Structure 1
């Protein structure tokens, strides 16, 4: 395929503009460092807690409206085996933001945490917090791979540019401005990127709907002869478990993303953080509608009337690239170039957030808290920047190997949903949780999820749940195994914490068995200088630090 030179020039100009804005924002960040009461590293991680509501809503929405969201939603609607009912991104993310605003924004922001892992560090100490970083880091790397794979596929179709070159250039631009300006560069570039996504995708919609190769989507909502079913899709009873599992994964798994709390913690107050979440719930839904329409249009198109020809994309195994294919073959050339720009913008708006979130957690909760407690601010800023580069390189490398954007999008949240979400709920809302319960829940969630297998990563299942099927030689679980792992982990944290506390406080378990040093008896009269009440049991102090 020949390179689309005008389109390539347009995309390069767009990248230069984004990079320029990122550099400008990095200078603004340096000015804030001089006037902000917080440390320089906190300015990089949470913007000095001075991000206003409008900018907060833009950057919150842009983080979730990434390449996986845009292309994954279109892929789900178009795919003959799925349909609109399986396009879970828009409704799931609305639920995610509403729950975040209602139950997580206030307890996180009111205590002035810097990262999502801070509450764990304060209650459980450094050792357990370090173990939580691993699934969070793996999830972020998979997310980077997901959104870069989406961009690589889009550019190869519309611009005729090598997928590898597209991935490398896009990753480099995101890494550079995130490296330079931290959250300020991320937030201000997000404004431009989200605006561009909104305008370009909605501009493509009428041209797609009016294309001569497309049947009116209102006529194919019930049955489409091309794909042999409705683009609305259907939910069979035997598929209900898988559908519920994936919906809950997207709706609740997002509550365990550091990228969410980076925006919550950058707000000036708890109330402002909640408003940001609620407003983002509306904007993220609006941003998903064009992808739904594009998927429906692609399912209703007669591809034989286009230069693409037959067989249709899903028969060629290109359902994951349906959005760029629709833009390229069903709209004018200049519009398809805008479309590639929108995907590029979506990729960078998510990638920069993921890079910064991983770098923030490692710097704040591992390097500063454990490895180098006396590290200077200059050293911490350097660690943030190096971490940004390393996570970006890891995600970019993985992006070359994956074609299914929707599948990688789901897997990126698996570990967070099964392992970190139950821990976060307990540490924020259950005062009874202790280190013994947290470690037990962590192991149970990780073990159940690992033993369930993952076809996308080539991991065979060792546990076969009811309803499993073999599809193209690969075992697929239709039981809600992720949700089972999450609930089992949550139950384990609560149960073990309660039993252990009960055992030590009532002296059912010898104090010498407290290997983690979580519990210690309270000295009565000597420490409190208060005479003990006759018949009163000895009190038990919960010393949660490891």
Structure 2
């Protein structure tokens, strides 16, 4: 297949438009920085994001390349199907739960990042440790969505995957580097419009292709492969529940989410955009579901793709671009390519800004160099943007299944970070001893539980652990069990350590985290008086600026 010149031109135009909008938004960022706090403007847009932009950027964050490509892949795979698609509903529920429980406490103290309450509650050491799973999650997420774009371009444009990864990563790094949240948010608006137009245009053409039979028929009847609705064997019920809880609850402790709700002008607006964003995320999964169903309903021997099928060739992860290329007219495939490129951009920039924000503000400014100026912090964030973006681009070359890479990117976030955030916000009296122990227990249990996707055999065999196709498979909901055990450990060790020191069972000079010396009136024992003073100074400064 020769290079597709029209498609290449359209992609170049899209990249130029995206970069232009990002640079334009960067000018707005510079103006706001002159009027207020540079770090606050870059991370949360000066807390003045309007409802329209907030809704678009909240939705675009989750509707990324991994989401739309991975959704089509999971529907198409003969051994999975719709019943195993938990991401669409899980993300929607996660955004709604976030609006109900997490938005108000996070905004009430004017936090800038997700790490702020953890840093107040458990100190610098735990913040540094917990930043690691957050960083890994963002980098893996970025890598997964870059890989999704690479697979699409390789099919439709017939270019090498490494070129699309490098070019896409470079564009994202440039406008995130210069513009911060405003560049990310304003480009999200145009990107989401591309996604809606491109995907909604594609699936009717694919559905009407003579090589495809009715998806209503193949939903329940085996024609070319297993029905695309899929089936859930009773023995896999624990795995299904585990995955659903993982997607739902594990989608909350991400800086990309909290940047959106913390940037809203009011708390009510933040809650509304979060709920509406969840509903929009669920709705925008529909075109990808239909494309996956169409792929499962197609006689590939009647298409230019031919036999063997994409599944038999091991190309199921590229099923969306394959459908666009071989079941749609060329101009429609070009529109679909624009949708995938837009989806990748909309999520990649969010992940990149997330990691660089937490590193610059929580690690560099609050731990490594407390006297750092605003300008210095901004320089560090820009350097981190380049380093983290380059690292993610490197990982993108190693991905096999887009859905699997995207799905496991939040494993450590769910098991380790979610319990810490919950306790820091809602459980008074927890301390650094509990935080450290909960982190260690959760990490060990997650590693010993194994990972089927990465072919890591389990050391701990939970109930119903069995061998399937030569591999041990945990049928017990061990991811959620690990999260709950980490949560329980954090609470119990916190209260027990406080009891031991208060009753002088342990000598006071062993209290290295000072849980008895400082007590916050709202959440009980604390452990770092200097950090509480710093938080109060930050809050007073913010109020004075307003």
1:482 positional shift = 0.9
Relative distance call for 1:388 and 1:499 in structure 2 (3 A) is same
Please tell me whether the aligned partners of residues 442 and 485 of structure 2 are also in contact (alpha carbons under 8 angstroms). yes
Query: What is the CA-CA distance between 1:35 and the residue it aligns to?
Result: 2.6
Q: Give the distance between the partners of 2:270 and 2:282, measured in 1 at CA.
A: 19
Aligned counterparts, 1:198-209, within 5 A: 198-209=196-207
* Structure 2 equivalent of residue 11 of structure 1: 11
Q: Which residue in 2 is equivalent to 1:284? A: 281
- Residue in 2 aligned with 1:77? 75
Deviation string 1:59-107 (CA, Å, 9 cap, x unpaired) is 1110101111101111111100000011111101110110000000110
Separation in structure 1 between the aligned mates of residue 93 and residue 503 of structure 2, nearest angstrom: 42
Equivalent-residue separation in structure 2 for 1:189 and 1:326 (angstroms): 27
Distance 2:9 2:472 in 1: 45
- Secondary structure (helix, strand or coil) at the match of 2:94 reads helix
TM normalised by structure 1 equals 0.94
* 1:54 to partner: Cα distance: 1.2
1:251 is displaced (CA, Å) by: 0.9
CA positional deviation for 1:371: 1.1
1:135 aligns with 2:133: yes
Task: Write the deviation string for residues 8-55 of structure 1: whole angstroms up to 9, x where unpaired.
Answer: 01101100000000000001111111233xx11211111011111111
Counterparts of 2:254 and 2:112 in 1: how far apart (Å)? 14
- Given candidates 269, 273, 280, the residue that maps to 1:272 is 269
Deviations 1:227-274 (A, max 9, x none): 1x2110011111111111111111111111110001111111221111
Q: Distance in 1 between matches of 2:328 and 2:154?
A: 17
Q: How does 1:210-359 map to 2 (within 5 A)?
A: 210-227=208-225, 229-359=226-356
Q: Which moved more, 1:378-387 or 1:498-507?
A: 498-507
**1:500 to partner: Cα distance:** 1.7
Tell me how far 1:314 sits from its aligned partner: 0.9
Contact map agreement 1:109 1:273 (CA 8 A) in 2: no
8 A Cα contact 2:428 2:524, kept in partner:
no
Q: Which of residues 36, 55, 58 is equivalent to 1:57?
A: 55
- 2:30 aligned partner: 30
- CA separation of 1:455 and 1:236: change in aligned 2, threshold 3 A: closer
Q: How many angstroms does 1:458 deviate by?
A: 4.6
* 1:453, distance to aligned residue in structure 2 (A): 2.0
Q: CA deviation at 1:393?
A: 0.6
1:381 aligns with 2:381: no
Give the CA deviation at 1:471. Answer: 4.6
Aligned residue among 509, 513, 516 for 1:512: 509
| 1:529 matched residue in structure 2 | none
Of the candidates 186, 192, 195, which is equivalent to residue 194 of structure 1? 192
* Secondary structure, counterpart of 2:126 in structure 1: helix
Partner residue of 1:370 out of 367, 371, 376: 367
1:167–1:451 distance in 2 versus 1, CA, 3 Å: same
Structure 2 CA distance, aligned partners of 1:22 and 1:163? 25
Question: Structure 1 CA distance, aligned partners of 2:471 and 2:168?
Answer: 33
Match of 1:544 in 2: 527
Aligned to 2:534: none
Aligned with residue 144 of structure 1, among 120, 137, 142: 142
TM-score, structure 2 normalization:
0.94
Gaps of 5+ in 1: 523-539
User: Aligned with 2:461: secondary structure?
Assistant: coil
**Cα displacement (A) at 1:517:** 2.1
Distance in 1 between residues matched to 2:306 and 2:112, nearest whole Å: 53
* Residue 479 (structure 1) aligned with residue 462 (structure 2): no
User: For the residues of structure 2 that align with 1:481 and 1:33, how far apart are their CA atoms?
Assistant: 46
By how many angstroms is 1:419 displaced?
A: 0.2
Helix, strand or coil at the partner of 1:224:
coil
Whether the 8 Å CA contact 1:73–1:292 is kept in 2: the answer is yes
DSSP 3-state at the match of 2:434: helix
Partner in structure 1 of residue 448 of structure 2: 451
* Unmatched segments (≥5 aa) in structure 2: 530-546
Give 1:354 deviation, angstroms: 0.4
1:508 is displaced (CA, Å) by 3.5
Q: Is the counterpart of residue 419 in structure 1 residue 416 in structure 2? A: yes
Residue among 87, 92, 95 paired with 1:94: 92
CA 1:544–1:97 in structure 2 vs 1: closer, same or farther (change >3 Å)?
A: same
C-alpha distance in structure 2 between counterparts of 1:317 and 1:467, whole Å:
30
| Mapped contact 1:519–1:541 kept (Cα < 8 A) | no
- 8 Å Cα contact 2:518/2:526 also seen in 1: no
Instruction: Name the CA distance, whole Å, in 1 between partners of 2:167 and 2:469.
Output: 35
Query: In 2, distance between residues paired with 1:147 and 1:85?
Result: 23
Query: Matched residues in 2 for 1:402 and 1:170: separation?
Result: 16
Mapped to 2, the partners of 1:29 and 1:82 lie a distance apart of 45
- Describe the SS at the equivalent of 1:234: coil
Aligned-pair CA distance for 1:459 = 3.2
Change (3 A) 1:144 1:521: closer
Q: Is the 8 A contact 1:90 1:284 kept in 2?
A: yes
